[in-house]
Amino acid sequence: MKNKIIIFSVFLFSLIIIVLFGNNLFFGKKKELDKETVKKKNSQEIETNQPSEIKKYSLEEVIKHNTKEDCWMVINGEVYNVTSFISLHPGGSAILLGCGKDASDLFTKRKTADGEKIGSGKPHSPKAQDLLDKYHIGQLK
Ligand code: HEM
C-alpha cells in the first residue's frame, strides 16, 4: 500500500511539473512571438512614417514628354504624368495642349498664356484637382 502511495505521489508530482513547464514553454514562446510582432509593427510604422523621397524634375526633362503617348505636365510646381488619363479626359484632346509644358494656366484657368479661352475658359472643378493626385510623379526642380 505504502509503495502504491509513493508511486502515485511521484506520478502526480511529475504531472504537475509537466503541466507547469509545458505551459511556461507554450506561453513563453507566445510572449516572444508577441514581442516580435510588436517589433515588426513598430518597424513597419517607422518605415511608413518616413517621408518617401520626392523626385525632382527639371523643365528640360518635362519638355521631353510632350506627346499623347507620353505626356507629362507641370501644374503649380508639381509634375504629373497624365498619359493614361488622356483617353479619359472629359474635355477631349484639349489636354494635349499641356503636354511637355508648364500647364498651370491651362489647368487652373482653362486659358492659354495669351488669355485665349479653352472650352468654358473657367477653372477645372475640385474633382479635377483631386484627380491630379493619381498622376503625380514629383516636383519641378
Ligand atoms: C492642362 C491641360 C488641360 C486642358 C487645356 C483641359 C481642358 C479641359 C476642357 C476644355 C474641358 C471641358 C469642360 C470645359 O470646357 O469647362 C475639361 C474638362 C475636364 N478636365 Fe481638363 N484640361 C486639361 C487638363 C486636365 C487634367 C490634367 C485633368 C485631371 C487629371 C483634367 C480633368 C478634367 C475634368 C475632370 C473635366 C470635367 C470638368 C471639370 O471637372 O472641370 N483636365 N478640361
| Grid coordinates belonging to 76 | 503649380
Residue 125 Cβ contacting ligand 1 at under 6 Å: yes
The DSSP code sequence of 105-138 is HHHHTSB-TT--B-TT-SPPPHHHHHHHGGGEEE
Rounded to an integer, what distance in angstroms lies between the CA atom of residue 30 and that of residue 28?
5
Rounded to an integer, what distance in angstroms lies between the CA atom of residue 91 and that of residue 128?
11
Rounded to an integer, what distance in angstroms lies between the CA atom of residue 81 and that of residue 61?
12
Query: Which residue's alpha carbon is at the smallest distance from atom 25 of ligand 1?
Result: 95
pLDDT tens digit sequence for 58-96 = 999 999 999 999 999 999 999 999 999 999 999 999 999
The DSSP code sequence of 10-65 is HHHHHHHHHHHHHHHHHHHHHHHHHHHHHHHHHHHHHHHHSPPPPPEE-HHHHHT-
Q: Which CATH superfamily is domain 56-140 in?
A: Cytochrome b5-like heme/steroid binding domain (3.10.120.10)
Query: Which residue's alpha carbon is at the smallest distance from atom 33 of ligand 1?
Result: 128
Task: Choose the residue to mutate in 96, 110, 112, 133 for probing ligand 1, maximizing ligand atoms within 8 Å of C-beta.
Answer: 110
pTM above 0.85, yes or no: no
Place of cell 497624365: 82
Confidence of residue 53 (pLDDT cuts 50, 70, 90): confident
Query: Which residue's alpha carbon is at the smallest distance from atom 23 of ligand 1?
Result: 95
pLDDT tens digit sequence for 4-24 = 776 666 666 666 655 555 655
